[in-house]
Structure 1
Amino acid sequence: MAGIVETQTTASPFEGNSKSRGRMEIRRINFDLSDSAMARPPLGKRRRDAAVRSSDLEVKRSRRTECPRYGVTSVCGRRRDMEDSVAIRPSFCGEDGDGDVRGGDLHFFGVFDGHGCSHVSRRCKERMHEIVRGEYENGDAPWEDAMARSFRKMDDDVAEWSSGLASTSDDSNCRCEMRTPQRDSVGSTAVVAVLSPEKIVVSNCGDSRAVLCRNGVAIPLSVDHKPDRPDELRRIEEAGGRVIYWDGPRVLGVLAMSRAIGDSYLKPYVIPEPEVTVTDRTGEDECLILASDGLWDVVSDQTACGVARMCLQSRKGESSNQACSDASILLTRLALARHSADNVSVVVVDLRKTTQ
């Protein structure tokens, strides 16, 4: 059973209150015992049937893969408020009522970097994996289509949820207090990775990023959606918008990214449409790094991979849980040492086939 180490704090790391905890994921099999005793078949037949069901269940269990080991660190840093959220959902598709393990070997990792307030990133943390699961289980569409629909549904969900909260009561945790027009200027990036035994599916909307370390080489699995990216600049201008340089390129001089969940006041220039990559896993894959731009603004892809790789290799014979946790903490500290002014959230996932 895969152990999970997670380090997460919303306080300044300089206060020295980072926390670590271990957690064991235990999955239970529930059997339906509601049949009437009067309708039961003879004991011998019941035993034979039970043996067949048990054999089938063992075969299905053998198809399930354990969740990769990972570490998470999320800190407020030098910002006044914590607006990042991180979601980790091992085996997030679960089992159906017949004990089928379809989706049981799919694992969900997401980093959501909010802006304007934290409620959109928190909503993405709570709901994105459920929406992706629904799209996956409802058909055999390619991952590109399933992820595109998921992000659009997440955007619709945020709009509906925000309106519902604003019409009922304020959220005391929200700086924007969920009132129009403030809630219309709140949004979040979303970078999501779904891992299967054979594939890495990454869906990105905004300027958070996913980077694969393969045999020591950094391979970006997403491209930041910046307003001055030539294709994004062209799309914005063709929609009637403008990119204005105000402390860097910004859509209408306001938002420093060209795609996001939420931000209804900037539509159609800022869109929730993700870009999706599907990458075959190989035996040379070492780790996957998902992080908000608080890391990537000051640390290059190759440097991040070098740090994570060093942590994984330095703990031979020990739990890779701790190695991944060490990597996420060290990357966060490096970002802060390089004067990152943003929240910093880092997820490091061990992709090695055999944990050293």
Structure 2
Amino acid sequence: MEGFKISVLWLAIFVILIPSSYGVYMTRMMANEEGGLSERSEWDLSTGSLQNKTVNCQFATFQGHREYQEDRIVCDLDMKIPHLGKNGLGEGTVGVMAVFDGHIGEEASEMASKLLLDYFYMHALFNTSELMEQYEGVPVTEDEITHLEILKEALLRTIRDIDFKFSQASRICSLLEAFEKRIFSGSTATVALLVDGKILIANVGDSKALLCTKKIQSGQGNLTASLSATELTENHSPGRDDERARVEASGGIVVTLWGKPWVNAELPMSRAIGDVYQKRFGVIAEPEMTGWQTLDVNDRFLVVSSDGIFESMTPQDVCDLIHDSSSCLPSSLLAECIVNTAFEKGSVDNLSVIVVPL
């Protein structure tokens, strides 16, 4: 066990000191007393600002009618995470899919996309190390539940730390610097984890995750197949009773503009990464997280998307299009087909979607 702890220490040092593949240079990172990551680092928006960091994922993103592209996508279906089991330390495969929909600038979504995988890996590593200390001298039994809870907690801490880092960067600036650097921005965060036929969703804001599930129906003596949409997230609208209560208890007001509730007539969502100057009015970055859900044999596709898709399409429209993509060009991927269809139907926002066949 002592040898393993030394190995974990050297692994952590190696990961920390090398330049991150997501453009963030970690100079120091450690677990603090609250379980979060405290770090001194630099982030650089000049590298890869419009590059989606994806591995083996089907995705599409389109600027649409907006002046800037503020959406960011991160997706890796084959991320290796330390896993403690009965045979000692091993690696588990985790699929990570995330959409960050920025607003008032790209800075918050850009930072979130660059930090997500590094922070998630480090938190999973620290949590696994802590578990090993508990098992020191005791045989380890295979415990899938413990491993899944480690991943869930790692994701929760990751989102908290991304928000903390961006907020910290914003607060050290003067008001003039904040305007010049455009760090009044914010971002949604919808992240899905896929592990051995189980999924977990963390959501901040109004991006969406949904499942398209095969349904067989009988009618007039015939059997027909379709895909039924199940939403896995609920938008954090200031008009939602619990969200409104928190905003108003913090001194904010909820105003209806263009038929939609806004925090202080400035922000159409009540949870977001960033939006530092709305935090005092009850805007939080705490994600709502589902429990781990076992996928059914009939679940066919997982979709993670920015809200621009749903300006002109419903979740059921998306699943219907996936089921019958004959209207798309033969060369179009499903993700491209969804983006193009939403644009053609009238969506004016940035458009981004990840489609994962199950």
TM-score by length of structure 2 reads 0.67
Structure with greater Cα Rg: 1
Give the corresponding residue for 2:27: none
Give the corresponding residue for 1:346: 353
Deviation of the 1:305 alpha carbon: 1.1
1:102 counterpart (73, 91, 95): 91
1:130 counterpart (111, 118, 128): 118
After superposition, what is the alpha-carbon deviation per residue over 1:183-206, rounded to whole angstroms, capped at 9, x for unaligned?
A: 452110010111111311111100
2:75 counterpart (67, 88, 92): 88
- Structure 1 residue identity aligned to 2:353: V
Q: Which ranges in structure 1 are unaligned for 5 or more consecutive residues? A: 1-66, 168-175, 315-321, 352-356
- Over 3 Å counting, the alpha-carbon distance change for 1:310 and 1:197 in structure 2 is farther
Q: SS at the partner of 2:201?
A: strand
Give the corresponding residue for 1:31: none
Deviation of the 1:90 alpha carbon: 3.3
Q: SS at the partner of 2:91?
A: coil
- Structure 1 residue identity aligned to 2:234: V
Whether the 8 Å CA contact 2:82–2:125 is kept in 1: the answer is no
After superposition, what is the alpha-carbon deviation per residue over 1:289-346, rounded to whole angstroms, capped at 9, x for unaligned?
A: 111010022211111011123349x9xxxxxxx99x6211111111111211100001
What is the distance in 1 between the residues matched to 2:176 and 2:337? Answer: 35
- Over 3 Å counting, the alpha-carbon distance change for 1:279 and 1:349 in structure 2 is same
Give the corresponding residue for 1:243: 254
Aligned pairs for 1:36-75 (under 5 A) are 70-75=57-62
What is the distance in 1 between the residues matched to 2:73 and 2:65? Answer: 19
Deviation of the 1:134 alpha carbon: 2.3
Deviation of the 1:145 alpha carbon: 3.7
What is the distance in 2 between the residues matched to 1:99 and 1:311? Answer: 46
Whether the 8 Å CA contact 2:208–2:304 is kept in 1: the answer is yes
Aligned pairs for 1:161-172 (under 5 A) are 161-162=169-170
Aligned pairs for 1:14-25 (under 5 A) are none
What is the distance in 2 between the residues matched to 1:68 and 1:143? Answer: 20
- Structure 1 residue identity aligned to 2:263: V
| More strand by percentage | 2
Whether the 8 Å CA contact 1:311–1:326 is kept in 2: the answer is no
Deviation of the 1:237 alpha carbon: 1.4
1:270 counterpart (267, 278, 283): 283
Deviation of the 1:133 alpha carbon: 2.1
Q: SS at the partner of 1:87?
A: strand
What is the distance in 1 between the residues matched to 2:297 and 2:253? Answer: 45
Give the corresponding residue for 2:19: none
What is the distance in 1 between the residues matched to 2:125 and 2:192? Answer: 17
Whether the 8 Å CA contact 2:311–2:346 is kept in 1: the answer is no
Give the corresponding residue for 2:205: 206
Q: SS at the partner of 1:340?
A: coil
Deviation of the 1:94 alpha carbon: 4.7
- Structure 2 residue identity aligned to 1:286: R
Give the corresponding residue for 1:296: 310
Give the corresponding residue for 2:45: none
- RMSD (CA atoms): 3.0
Give the corresponding residue for 1:223: 234
Q: SS at the partner of 1:223?
A: coil
Q: SS at the partner of 1:92?
A: strand
Deviation of the 1:144 alpha carbon: 4.7
Give the corresponding residue for 1:282: 296
What is the distance in 2 between the residues matched to 1:155 and 1:227? Answer: 19
2:105 counterpart (109, 117, 129): 117
Deviation of the 1:181 alpha carbon: 7.8
Matched, 1:336 2:343: yes
What is the distance in 1 between the residues matched to 2:55 and 2:196? Answer: 10
- Over 3 Å counting, the alpha-carbon distance change for 1:100 and 1:310 in structure 2 is farther
- Structure 2 residue identity aligned to 1:108: V
Q: How many positions carry a matched residue from both structures?
A: 266
After superposition, what is the alpha-carbon deviation per residue over 1:244-280, rounded to whole angstroms, capped at 9, x for unaligned?
A: 1123211000001110000010014210000111221
Give the corresponding residue for 2:165: 157
Deviation of the 1:100 alpha carbon: 5.2
- Over 3 Å counting, the alpha-carbon distance change for 1:281 and 1:226 in structure 2 is same
Whether the 8 Å CA contact 1:162–1:183 is kept in 2: the answer is no
Matched, 1:257 2:269: yes
- Over 3 Å counting, the alpha-carbon distance change for 1:144 and 1:275 in structure 2 is farther
Matched, 1:326 2:333: yes
What is the distance in 1 between the residues matched to 2:348 and 2:101? Answer: 14
- Structure 2 residue identity aligned to 1:155: D
Q: SS at the partner of 2:324?
A: helix
